[in-house]
Amino acid sequence: MMILKQPKSRLFTVLFCLTTITILLFSYNYSITSSYFFKLWQVGTPVSKSLCACSQCISVEDEDPWFMELFNKSIPPLMSPNNTMLSEKTYKWWQGLQTRRKTPANYKEVVQRLFQVIPGEKHYMDSGPNRCRTCAVVGNSANLKGSHYGALIDSNDFVIRMNKAPTLGYEKDVGRRTTHHVMYPESATDLQNDTHLLLIPFKILDLEWIISALTTGTIKRTRMPVMAKIKANKNKVLIYSPTFFKYVYDFWLKGHGLYPSTGFLTLMFAIHICDEVNVFGFGADKGGNWQHYWENNLLHGFHHTGQHDGNHEYIVTMLLACKNKIKMFKGR
């Protein structure tokens, strides 16, 4: 961002980052070395050798200790027929996330059926010195209203949106392209044929739902009524890996909250498959309002929902920004 070039702003950024990290240290008991603080003074100055072809990459050779401790590139973010097996610990944790039927369906059998309906071959685990994959992660905050970010968002290789996010009528501020749309059954929406549906499953029934929604349409209810059929390209459906899900919770959130929010899970997906991550539409608008950009109802706040530790997610997100791992676009 141009703004970082002005000394005053840089000072502000450094102070902001110091404050964030101090809060983090005191509230969450991270074990931190002194090099951690030293690193902080490098805010805004790319110093390390990049491991990708972008001007600034998420992975660099001279890695930040905090980031290095958390970031694990070898865990695939997506489920494929090769990695459906869950450890007993992961399975148990994942099963406990949402209330479920007394006898859940057989996981192995469901997964087998799933990969007869969807392809399961996209991995994105192809990072290297010649790749520069830019990604826009577009949240649903009202701070996008009047931002005119549309063209900037669309200029990224991947444009990742989530839940009910519409583009029609909001193109100037949110863009028109969507390469990936992240959702769960209860937040589903119809998609264009060239968009990847990325399902976050919270239970086996969610996997059964996507099979059904793409074929027979027999499942009409999970925890609540859901879309029986969904308009989406079967060949482009992707499934968020429960193993990766648990890694995000254990490592990045240190077990805070019941489970991570869709926004945070999406951000984590992006930093693991992209080389440059640009974040739009996260947080409140400048009036401090928490609402969706397509709604005018202030009562529909979505910040503190109980299940998520929004505060911890916010601090981790800010740290990623402080350390130049992601770029935050604050909107209006």
Q: What H or E segment, with its residue span, contains residue 27? A: helix 7-28
Q: Which of 82, 155, 215, 307 binds ligand NAG (CB under 6 A)?
A: 82
Distance CA(156)–CA(293), nearest Å, equals: 21
The helix-helix angle for 262-273 and 310-322 (nearest 10°) equals 30
Nearer to ligand NAG, 73 or 220 (CB): 73
Supply the residues annotated as catalytic: 259, 308
How many residues are there in the chain? 332
Among 9, 42, 56, 80, binds ligand NAG (CB under 6 A): 80
Cα angle 91, 97, 101; round to 5: 85
Which is nearest to 319 in space by CA: 6, 12, 16?
16
- Burial status of residue 69 (CB atoms within 10 A of its CB: 0-12, 13-18, 19 or more): middle
What residues from 190 to 249 belong to the interface with ligand NAG (CB under 6 A)?
Answer: 193, 233, 235
Window of 72-80, 97-105, 182-190, 267-275 that interacts with ligand NAG by CB under 6 A:
72-80
Nearer to ligand NAG, 218 or 235 (CB): 235
Residue 97 half-sphere exposure, CB side, CA atoms within 13 Å? 24
- Output the smallest distance, CB 186 to ligand NAG, in A: 25
* H-helix or E-strand spanning residue 264: helix 262-273
x-marked contacts with ligand NAG along 143-182 as a string, rule CB under 6 A: ----------------------------------------
Residue in 19, 109, 121, 151 binding ligand NAG, rule: CB under 6 A:
121
Among the candidate windows 18-26, 75-83, 135-143, 316-324, which touches ligand NAG by CB under 6 A? Answer: 75-83
Instruction: Specify the residue, 63 or 154, whose C-beta has the smaller distance to ligand NAG.
Output: 63
User: For ligand NAG, which is the closer residue by CB, 75 or 152?
Assistant: 75
User: Does residue 209 sit in helix, strand or coil?
Assistant: helix
Closest CA to 58 of 271, 299, 302, 332: 271
72 binds ligand NAG (CB under 6 A): yes
The structure tokens listed for 66 are 């905090």
Query: Among residues 121 and 295, whose Cβ is nearest to ligand NAG?
Result: 121
The answer to the question of residue 125 lying near ligand NAG (CB under 6 A) is no
What are the residues binding ligand NAG (CB under 6 A)? 72, 74-75, 80, 82, 121, 123, 193, 233, 235
